[in-house]
Structure 1
Amino acid sequence: MKPSQIKKFQEQQNKFSKGIATRIDRITALWVAIQSAADTHFTELEDLILEAHKLAGTATTLGFVDLGERGRDIEILTRPFLEKQTLPKGDANLESIIQSLSYVSTIEPKRPEDMTYGEVTLLHEQGRTKQLVYVVAEYAEDIKDMVKQLQFIDYEVVSFDSSDTLKLALDKEAPSVLIVDLREFDLLNEVTNVWRKASGIPLVVLSSSESWDSRLNAAQAGAFAFFQKPIEYDDILEVLDNLWESSNAQYRVLIVDDERMLAEHYSIILQGAGMKTLILEDTEHLLDEIGEFSPDLVLMDLYMPNCSGVEAASVIRQHKSHTNLPIVYLSGETDLKTQMQALQVGADDFLTKPINDLHLTQAVSIRAKRFRQLSALMDRDSLTGLLNHSNLKVALDRELSRARRHHSQVSFVMIDIDHFKSVNDKYGHPVGDKVIKGVARLLNYRFRKTDTCARYGGEEFALILPDTPADIALRLIDEFRLTFSKTPFSNGPETFYSTLSAGLATFPEFQSIETIIEAADSALYLAKEKGRNRVVTHVELDTGKDDEKNA
């Protein structure tokens, strides 16, 4: 655990400790009530099982292992009575366990540093806005053009001419990727003496030779990717894009659990692994939260009052739009038959409490990543990886609805590549595709995870900026336009540049999907009329109308 996580964990332990007596009193009172209940009355027994289930999961997770085991024992011993529709009146084992709860609660919990929590390294915690790239080459002229290209795309690039200088840098800070440009393979051998595959830093090798031996040497050194020189920079950028995406994927997890303290613990752990979480204690608003939060995965307790996890999963699956949304049960239920029955409803996996933090983060991230990948095949443009036209409208509708509820602003931008037909005519469609991907790449790097980038069609793009007024959006888009205009594209030995025009409209000035898109599109058209390579807002549309009236 990191120091910040240890502090939060200790706060949770203290908070739980203060409420233990109340939990024990509740369990004891239910046990007493069961002893005098009518033989056909099982409400207290159901409540006792639920309280024991909560105690087992929360206590064990927060280091109160002995107390958690007592809770688990109570749950295991009482369930058969409920299944047989009888009451455990006078059961000596249960009586003994319940009486021991107060004593067991005095046992000191495990310290955070003594628990088996996996350490998770987080790229987003490094506070870096640019992806750091190390490039090693004996001859600076070999990498000059590549470094320039990467810097224009907004990477932070540091160059080295020897493995000695590289080692000093690696000791201070780890990059997102290490690129080695070779004339001779001696340099690769020297680099591998200071870099190790186990470090987690991907290695990319550039070589003038594409022989089997060259590729084999790179593979044996642990290279993630191999390119023959001269290289197409777009190929390297595609590799870096994939690394960037996997490093910065902020999965969204909806935690559905009526045990707030336990849910908060899972939330802290998943947030520590770079995920965004939302806790929901009451399933009544489950569908609304799924619609607004757009989770990549729902992590749900199996046993909750009023609505079980199985019933909640059934309601989710009734909606076609949620057919593929991963649902993972997280419960203390250990009976395999019960687990399989729960999964038959449409859930994807069953994780058993207590669960190691590293196991939890890995299980959640693997399933969330798979969901993202499947969704991308259906929802995203195949060339750029951005949202496609139809899903852009879904996202825009969602953001406008959220803005109405929270009385916030949304800016919507239409972007078009200037004279794109001339690029295709002069250099060919493959080069035109490079320019389109260049816009998409820069959109991904320049804007927030909460912003939505889409390919509207052809050489047109769209951008949704939540909680962003027009003046800020104008500044951001203009900076984006200027950066793109300085980004070089290659056609063999020839280098050329391209420009963008953009139109901007905002909510609440425009209330519906249709009107805000129409306004942004009209502003884009006006930007083209004014000479291209500029950003026009909907305010200028109104000015233009006034000028026409006065003429």
Structure 2
Amino acid sequence: MRILVVEDDEMVSQALTNVLGDQNYAVEVAQDGQAGWELVEAFPYDLILLDVMLPKLDGISLCQRLRSQGYNMPVLLLTGIDSSHDKATGLNAGADDYVVKPFDPEELLARVRALLRRGNAIALPILEWGSLKLDPTTHEATYDVHPLHLTPKEYAMLELFLRNSRRVFSCGAILEHIWSYEETPGEEAVRTHIKGLRQKLKAAGAPTDLVETVYGIGYRLKPLEALLVPNCPLETQEQPSKAQTTAAIAGVWNRFKGKIGDSVEVIAEAAAALSEAKLTPELHAQAEREAHTLAGSLGTFGFREGSQVARKIERLLQATKLGRKDATRLGKLVKSLRTEINRPLQETTKEAAPEKDERPLLLIVAPESNTTKQLVTEAANWEIRAEIATNLPAAREKIEREHPNAVLLELDLEQVHSGSLTLLAELSQQTPPVPVLVLTEQNGLERRAGSTLQERLEVARLGGRAFLQKPVSAVQVMEAVNQVLQRAEAGAAKIVVVDDDAQILATLRNLLEPWGMKVRTLEDPRRFWETLEATLPDLLILDIKMPHINGIELCQVVRNDARWSGLPILFLTAYTDANTVNQVFAAGADDFVSKPIVGPELVTRIINRLERIKLLRSLAETDPLTRVANRYKSTTELNRFLSLAKRYNQPLSLAIVDLDRFKQVNDRYGHDVGDAVLRQIGQILLRSFRSEDVVARWGGEEFIVGMYGMTKSDGIERLRELLEIVREQKFAAPGKIEFQVTMSGGIAEYPDDGIDLQSLYRAADAALYQAKLAGRDRIMVHE
């Protein structure tokens, strides 16, 4: 088997050559994308290992070129960026699989073997996955000789999964592959056909999860190893010996250890220059490159902690402005990096801990039903992990074992009057409390409480955070859950406490840390400013009377600096006389708590203050009518994405869309109706684009969409889908009048049409003008 490795990092490419060579693969190496393309044109390869970030021609562009020119060999991407969007970009470009640097050699070899198997299998007339078979010639599918009677869409889905058996397909990707543009339905149609396919597979004797859900991503065929299919034994005879692989890795490490040290010294030199305010742009950029390389390679040699430290250094150096506190932090990280790479190689070979699911956990306490299943599915769309407990004992067990972030409690369970309400009270009294949302039938509690108001009061008294009455959709429930989780996030705030009493500091730490707050304590107020800048707190707690500098003077210093003018400041004081209170508020304090400290009072005041700040920030960044981002927020986000596009040589598309003849809507139906149209358009925009896209209103009926990592051609397809949705949307006016509207848009791409936000906006605006001249209700591209 012949494998081409396209990788510009000599150390990584040598490691790949050794690992693959030990498995008797013939390996050739290209150090940039253009050289890789020339080798592909000259020689046949069975598989390509392709780095994403390459000089001359990046990996994504090379992959797209390979597929457009008809090359079908498997492509395995190597990427140092572990985000769903970047992975999706690579898969959409035509890659078959991806591995995140630093990679584990055994996992890499397993993926290579799987891709080579699949590459051979695709050429066969019959597609197989264990006992599942599909014959593309006769359009027949069977499971263990039992025929599957599939609809055309179910058959197309099954063929898609079998031809790409290691790939996860999102609902959007399935829609693009199976439905034509003219007939594309919503994502619910995909879920319906998946359900039908699973039922028919189950009826033929297949496992119920043969088509498995990868929550938050999409669907795929369950790996054969997990299915334990007797006809497909694991290839244990092909597994490389750990000693052999370790020896190969150690050989490469010994050759490149000196180069690793040189890379660390470049970063150390940058840290020293930064501390003296002499860091040049060239040294800054070189240090960032070295950190990026180390982050992607150290883990390959077993230095996983070193890889994490290098990643932190890379992120720190990506900031456009660095100060003295950054120099101190960078110096500490360099010291940690040196310690890590000087450890003996054999000490770094511990098994990596399994990745933890970082999504918040919602526990649904309700009888199992279609409603609860819909809630679990909808939760995944909100990046929330949902589990069901069908009775109170099971709920208590899960709460004790898994510590959910929130609980959705249905109050029409058995023994509602005692058990469920008791559980609600218990959760509210925990430290910190578990937020509970209550879901009940519309009149479910009337016999006991007498009215809806009394029901709500009962739930509120027992600590419920939200009260939902059926009928309510899964989306509405998850909106309420999301709001409760966001409010709970205030407990993750950073707090700086300045007090010369060590006992008070210990007390505050014990009070606040159980609520998830990060507490930084300081006894000596003379070190206040460096602590403030190093911590970047969300709230500051000050004592009044302290040696050297008192709390009122510190408060005045903070308020005199524009950067900290909005920082909430809370005073702790044993003095409650009118004069002291006046001095505290005159200095700029937001609140005060008298000593001795009453724990619940202090925690309540802090959380309320943090929630208010978060609300004000949200109001300052959101358009109040449409609930999309406003111009200030979106400008900040778009400039951030432009910086990423420049750094990683990625496209960014900017689109301007606005409503056609919107003035006629206001003139004919009134401005209230016009506002209602804008609100609905805002929601349609939010639903039509990815969560990472920037959707904003810049004034009137004009909206902006920024799409990082997306070319104009891909962006046009998204915008055309948007225009189709808007055309079909019906709006209401007084007198039971229904009307429809259309939109026009223009799109431009970085860097072809502009290198900054202003030039991109001008280019997109010019394209929008052409769309209006051409008759409206269309998308035009800047030429």
Bigger relative CO (Cα 8 Å, ≥ 6 apart):
1
- TM-score tier by shorter-chain length is 0.3 to 0.5
